[in-house]
Amino acid sequence: MTTTIALLGAGGKMGCRITDNMKDHSDYTMLYVEISEQGVANLAERGVSTTAQADALAAA
């Protein structure tokens, strides 16, 4: 069983650091929440897509 984590602000400076460290861990299901265009672009560069905040919080 995996643990689901909702990361809010995932495309910001600290969020990207956490994303880089967590995105390839199979022990966790990561849900990335970001609202800014630049943050979404930062996540896209990492091959990660965003999840709506309400959906991420409900699933975590």
Could you report the per-residue pLDDT of 5-53, keeping only the tens digit for each?
Answer: 999 999 999 999 999 999 999 999 999 999 999 999 999 999 999 999 9
Total of domains in the chain: 1
Q: Which domain holds residue 47?
A: 3-59
pLDDT-derived band of residue 1, with 50, 70 and 90 as boundaries?
Answer: confident
Measured N-to-C along each axis, helices 13-22 and 37-45 cross at an angle, to the nearest 10 degrees, of 30
8 A C-beta contact, residue 56 and residue 9: no
- Model-level pTM greater than 0.95? no
CA 16, CA 13: separation in Å to the nearest integer? Answer: 5
